[in-house]
Structure 1
Amino acid sequence: MQLNRPFATVTPTLDGDVLAVLASADVPFTIGQVRRILTHASGEGIRKVLNRLTSQGVVQHDEVGRTHTYRLNTEHLAAEPIMALSRLNSTFLSRLEQHLDRWGSTLRYAAVFGSAATGRMRLDSDIDLFLVRAAGSGDDVDDVWEQRLTELARLVTAWTGNDGRIVEYTEGEFHAAAAAGEPLFDDVSKQGLTVAGTRAWFNAQLRSARRS
């Protein structure tokens, strides 16, 4: 799936993209405003979709003078599933946070990065996860960690249909790579979506390693 196009999971048509726009805010939109967001669509195509959705009662159409506005009818029976679909990205991140919270202090930091974080996913995109593991381990801890990584990758695929690509570092490896100027860390710092730990911790560790 494409987290940035949640309605594409159920419909490949323009209808889904238009519904995603209307569900993004409880405000009226003009056709021009929708088109500025959906740059790949024509104004006429958007108008036809809005008229079709209006006839189904899912969209409310108002006319003030020569201005036509459209908004999602939040009282419609279909509004709840439409809103749920529109929130797939945040639902995915919440599930990740809840799952990783059970890992306890072994996990110092985790973030989603790459196209899933920047909104540029293709249908076949991987979902990239960055993890920093706390210092100190033994054979038993290592085995549990590997099992958790395997299960995490499985869950990401089960939830989304996309392959989960996990990039992991121990704290020591993270500091060494940061000191060497690993460019991936800049991407995580600037665009990553934190799902475990805090961005403040990550950035502080990154600055400390690079100063040293």
Structure 2
Amino acid sequence: MQLNRPFATVTPTLDGDVLAVLASTDATFTISQVQRLLATGSGEGIRKVLTRLVAQGVVLHDRVGRTNTYRLNTEHLAAEPIMALSQLNSTFLRRLEKHLHGWRTTLRYAAVFGSAATGRMKLDSDIDLLLVRAADTDDDGDDAWEERVTELARLVTAWTGNDASVVEYTEDELRAAAAAGEPLLRDVSKQGLTVAGTRSWFNAQLRPTARRS
């Protein structure tokens, strides 16, 4: 799936993209506003989609002067599943956070990065995850850690249909990679979505030792 195009999981048509816009807020939209937000689809194509959705009662149409406006009908029977679909990205992140919380002191930091974090996913994109293993933990050792990582990758694929690409560091390895100027870590710092630990801790590990608290 594409986390940035949640409706594509059930329909590849322009209808899903238009619904994603309308479900993102309580505001009303003109056709040109929808078109600017989508950056795909013609004005005529969007108009036809909105006409179909109005006929289904899912979208409410109003006219202000000469301008046609549209908004999602939140009282419609289909509104709840539509809004749930529109929030698949945040649902994925919450589910990931909840699962990683169960790792307790084993995990120092985790983040989603790459196209899943920047909103540029393609259908076959991997979901990139960075994990930093805590230095001192009471876990059962390397085997237990590897089992957790394997299960995490399985769950990500089960939830999304996409392969998980997991990058692992210990705390010492993270600092060594940061000192060597590993570009992946800069990408995580700038665009990553934290799902365990704190971004402030992670960013602190990327600074020179003399400045790190």
Counterpart of 1:26 in 2: which secondary structure?
Answer: coil
Corresponding residue for 2:81? 81
CA change 1:114–1:84 in 2 (3 A) is same
CA change 1:48–1:210 in 2 (3 A) is farther
CA deviations 1:133-179 (Å, max 9, x no partner) are 01147993111100000000000000000000000000010011101
Corresponding residue for 2:153? 153
Corresponding residue for 2:27? 27
> 1:178 & 1:81 partners in 2: Cα distance?
43
Counterpart of 1:76 in 2: which secondary structure?
Answer: coil
Number of matched pairs? 212
CA change 1:87–1:110 in 2 (3 A) is same
CA drift of 1:208 comes to 4.0
Q: Which letter does structure 1 place at the counterpart of 2:206? A: L
Counterpart of 2:75 in 1: which secondary structure?
Answer: coil
Q: Percentage identity across aligned positions?
A: 79
CA change 1:112–1:152 in 2 (3 A) is same
Moved over 3 A (4+): 136-140, 208-212
Structure 2 counterparts to residues 90-109 of structure 1, below 5 A: 90-109=90-109
CA drift of 1:209 comes to 4.3
Corresponding residue for 1:13? 13
Corresponding residue for 1:135? 135
CA drift of 1:210 comes to 8.3
TM-score by length of 1: 0.97
Check conservation: 2:106, 2:137, Cα contact below 8 A: no
Counterpart of 2:32 in 1: which secondary structure?
Answer: helix
CA change 1:40–1:139 in 2 (3 A) is closer
Counterpart of 1:140 in 2: which secondary structure?
Answer: coil
CA change 1:146–1:75 in 2 (3 A) is same
Contiguous gaps of at least 5 residues in structure 2:
none
CA change 1:75–1:210 in 2 (3 A) is farther
Structure 2 counterparts to residues 37-186 of structure 1, below 5 A: 37-136=37-136, 140-186=140-186
> 2:24 & 2:141 partners in 1: Cα distance?
43
Contiguous gaps of at least 5 residues in structure 1:
none
CA deviations 1:61-81 (Å, max 9, x no partner) are 000110100000000000000
Corresponding residue for 2:204? 204
Q: Which letter does structure 2 place at the counterpart of 1:74? A: T
Check conservation: 2:7, 2:20, Cα contact below 8 A: yes
Check conservation: 1:4, 1:89, Cα contact below 8 A: yes
Check conservation: 1:179, 1:211, Cα contact below 8 A: no
Q: Which letter does structure 1 place at the counterpart of 2:122? A: R
> 1:153 & 1:120 partners in 2: Cα distance?
20
